[in-house]
Structure 1
């Protein structure tokens, strides 16, 4: 699929502003499908030549073996169903299979739009049913315990508290938090400008306690730059590591997990769980679902609606405790 994959990934990057993470996943999914076509025993044609619409499945090996090609027209819904069945046999999680199938649908839809294919063979393949998992979140008391864990005695401690406070106060993603620059923060108005998925920007309000923690961190942030012993400092980045560079997503995740364990909350949630906690607590307090959608940066309301299940559980708990005939 080399030529078609490269053109598709370039389209995603240039026209759809897909993130590096998305591009990486799509590349893996399409290469895996390409490998399956090569070994599945599908009807094969002569090796592809320049300008062919075939999906190249390999190269000429040192021993002279030629990996032949599969013509695009030969790939039908049965071939894709066979690929999905193969993933099931290998024990791949349903959520991962659903993502790979979505990648194929998008890829073949692109080829149809470019006039390479007449129909999308992945359109008729159903998505595996996924278990309805409610996002794990913390209670308000657990959040309070978490936010008193960091010590502000030094610059890293002040930074860690600012990260936790901002995470919970804004509900932004881990990648959005580490991508923030100092100029994205409006301390006076209590706002932060966030660049989300697909390069979409949104303005998110930040609470007074998070703003106070950010003020204290900004007052000591220069210590991280001045203390840099190697590597080039990044003065524009809001959150810095001990070397003065931009804090990575992995580094921020380690910080959150450290304080989850220190506070006694333990491995109940992942760092992303603070985002779930933010949304759940807003909904439980009566916030409008559309407003939460805008704050979280969800493109679809259906993504936000999963939190209504959590709210229903909360309401049922209140009802059972409070109603005399419950």
Structure 2
């Protein structure tokens, strides 16, 4: 194959994954991981033309560890690099396999698996005070954030919320979860108020006011996951907090368990089909809680 730019290589890798029968989400995930890897190489003044080296792999893994990425995230990126390495060999751009998942993935000691990243009580309080200042945040963004914080919705569930799903009288939310399964989530007064503010304010004067969906953008009658991630990143930057949808979900479940709520109830609220999922994730406490526990000795 003729000399290719890193951008052309990335495009060819995407096509390779599609032809290989990988699912849409997998293709997006793998190509996103490799795009970030190639961007990192650029910061090192490396013009990548397909020749992968073991040095690149080891250095990138060290960079990810230094950035405090979770074990699961790093291991996912190793998988993406392994697939990328196989692609480069198939295209005769690289001569040998240089990524070894069994060796390169970070091993997790028993009892430390499924650690989740959550907001501390202090961070939650800081976020709530930030949301109180109407100059900081739009009514739409405020509604989206309090919904995430107090309902534990998945991001896909949040963007698909319809106005008819909210019962203001009983203060319940009807959620269509994975596999089309319905569940009901009770709403705190703060959430009801934030939704009402939005419906009676910004949304009432919106050109797409007739949309069936609750959360709108300037151009679309429904928000998408990327928009949610962007708004969380924007406000997180102001608060010096890393904010992403699943962190809110983890925090929701973890806070309930810490307050003594039965795990079966937490599972129902989170929409987990299997209680074991809830147990695996949230009985294992966060890294910070483990550190705090040891500090008590």
> What TM-score results when the alignment is normalised by the length of structure 1?
0.55
Residues 136 and 268 of structure 1 are in contact (CA less than 8 Å); yes or no, is this contact kept in structure 2? Answer: no
Instruction: Give, in whole Å, the separation in 2 of the partners of 1:171 and 1:200.
Output: 16
Instruction: Give, in whole Å, the separation in 1 of the partners of 2:268 and 2:258.
Output: 17
Residues 171 and 275 of structure 1 are in contact (CA less than 8 Å); yes or no, is this contact kept in structure 2? Answer: yes
Residues 193 and 203 of structure 1 are in contact (CA less than 8 Å); yes or no, is this contact kept in structure 2? Answer: yes
**Aligned residue in 2 for 1:277:** 251
Radius of gyration: which is bigger?
A: 1
Q: Relative to 1, partners in 2 of residues 1:308 and 1:292: Cα closer, same or farther, differing over 3 Å?
A: same
Instruction: Give, in whole Å, the separation in 2 of the partners of 1:309 and 1:191.
Output: 29
2:180 to 196, 199, 202: 199
2:214 to 238, 247, 265: 238
1:310 to 278, 285, 293: 285
Establish whether residue 301 from structure 1 lines up as the match of residue 282 from structure 2. no
Three-state SS of the structure 2 residue aligned to 1:310 is: coil
Shift of 1:316: 8.3
1:181 to 154, 162, 166: 162
Q: More displaced, 244-253 or 283-292? A: 244-253
Instruction: Give, in whole Å, the separation in 1 of the partners of 2:75 and 2:287.
Output: 26
Shift of 1:133: 4.3
Q: Which gives a bigger RCO, structure 1 or 2 (Cα 8 Å, sep 6+)?
A: 2
Q: Relative to 1, partners in 2 of residues 1:319 and 1:27: Cα closer, same or farther, differing over 3 Å?
A: closer
Establish whether residue 24 from structure 1 lines up as the match of residue 5 from structure 2. no
Shift of 1:318: 6.2
Which structure 2 residue ranges, 5 or more long, are not aligned?
Answer: 1-20, 30-56, 62-72, 81-101
Moved over 6 A (4+): 26-29, 96-99
Residues 233 and 242 of structure 2 are in contact (CA less than 8 Å); yes or no, is this contact kept in structure 1? Answer: no
Equivalent residue runs for 1:99-248 within 5 Å: 131=108, 132-150=113-131, 151-152=133-134, 157-223=138-204, 225-226=206-207, 235-243=211-219, 245-248=221-224
Q: Relative to 1, partners in 2 of residues 1:249 and 1:286: Cα closer, same or farther, differing over 3 Å?
A: same
Which structure 1 residue ranges, 5 or more long, are not aligned?
Answer: 1-8, 10-21, 30-87, 100-125
What is the RMSD of the two structures over their aligned residues, measured on CA atoms?
A: 4.0
Shift of 1:98: 8.6
Instruction: Give, in whole Å, the separation in 2 of the partners of 1:248 and 1:95.
Output: 24
Q: Relative to 1, partners in 2 of residues 1:93 and 1:165: Cα closer, same or farther, differing over 3 Å?
A: closer
User: What is the CA deviation profile of residues 89-135 of structure 1, one whole-angstrom value per residue up to 9, with x for unaligned ones?
Assistant: 9x996447899xxxxxxxxxxxxxxxxxxxxxxxxxx9x99632411
Residues 180 and 194 of structure 1 are in contact (CA less than 8 Å); yes or no, is this contact kept in structure 2? Answer: yes
